[in-house]
């Protein structure tokens, strides 16, 4: 957070300094009636002001890019990040669809398991009743033991 305040302060100070220097250069060029590139003195002063403004913009951008890695990433790698995000979103949608399908299968399997458990319980109850109605196995058999 402190770095952000420092960065803003540095940009304001540097921009103001360069603007002041540019204004003074423009004034001196205008007063001296200097000519650049065969321009009239007033047009030369305007050109100097434009160049100074460009320097302010370039230095501001340079400072921001030099000090802020997220900004560099955002400016120079934004397209790649957007492609990765689109791919990740597509994969997420596919994974969610697969999850929903698996959950539906799981619900169906649990329902089948409950039905099978009920049928098994019914069969077990019937078997227990049948066993209870049968006479004891040893009571009807002759005793062949020779003692």
Tens digit of pLDDT for each residue in 96-142? Answer: 999 999 999 999 999 999 999 999 999 999 998 888 887 666 666 56
Tens digit of pLDDT for each residue in 9-55? Answer: 877 887 788 778 777 877 776 677 767 777 777 777 777 778 877 88
Length of the chain: 147
**Lowest model confidence (mean pLDDT) among 61-65, 79-83, 100-104:** 61-65
Q: How far apart are CA 25 and CA 50, in angstroms?
A: 11
Q: What are the structural domain ranges in the chain?
A: 2-76, 77-121
| 62 CB neighbour count, 10 Å cutoff | 11
Q: How far apart are CA 94 and CA 106, in angstroms?
A: 18
Please state, rounded to an integer, the average pLDDT across all residues of the chain: 82
Q: How far apart are CA 24 and CA 34, in angstroms?
A: 14
């Amino acid at each position: 957070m402190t770095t952000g305040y420092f960065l803003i302060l540095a940009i304001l100070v540097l921009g103001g300094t360069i603007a002041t220097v540019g204004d003074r250069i423009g004034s001196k060029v205008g007063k001296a009636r200097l000519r650049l590139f065969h321009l009239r003195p007033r047009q030369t002063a305007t050109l100097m002001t434009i160049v100074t403004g460009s320097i302010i913009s370039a230095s501001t951008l340079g400072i921001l890019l030099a000090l802020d890695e997220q900004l560099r990433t955002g400016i120079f790698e934004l397209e790649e990040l957007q492609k990765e995000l689109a791919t990740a979103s597509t994969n997420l949608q596919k994974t969610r669809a697969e999850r929903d399908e698996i959950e539906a299968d799981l619900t169906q399997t649990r329902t089948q398991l409950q039905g099978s458990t009920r049928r098994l319980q019914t069969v077990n109850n019937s078997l227990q009743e049948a066993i209870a109605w049968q006479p004891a196995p040893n009571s009807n058999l002759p005793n062949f033991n020779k003692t």
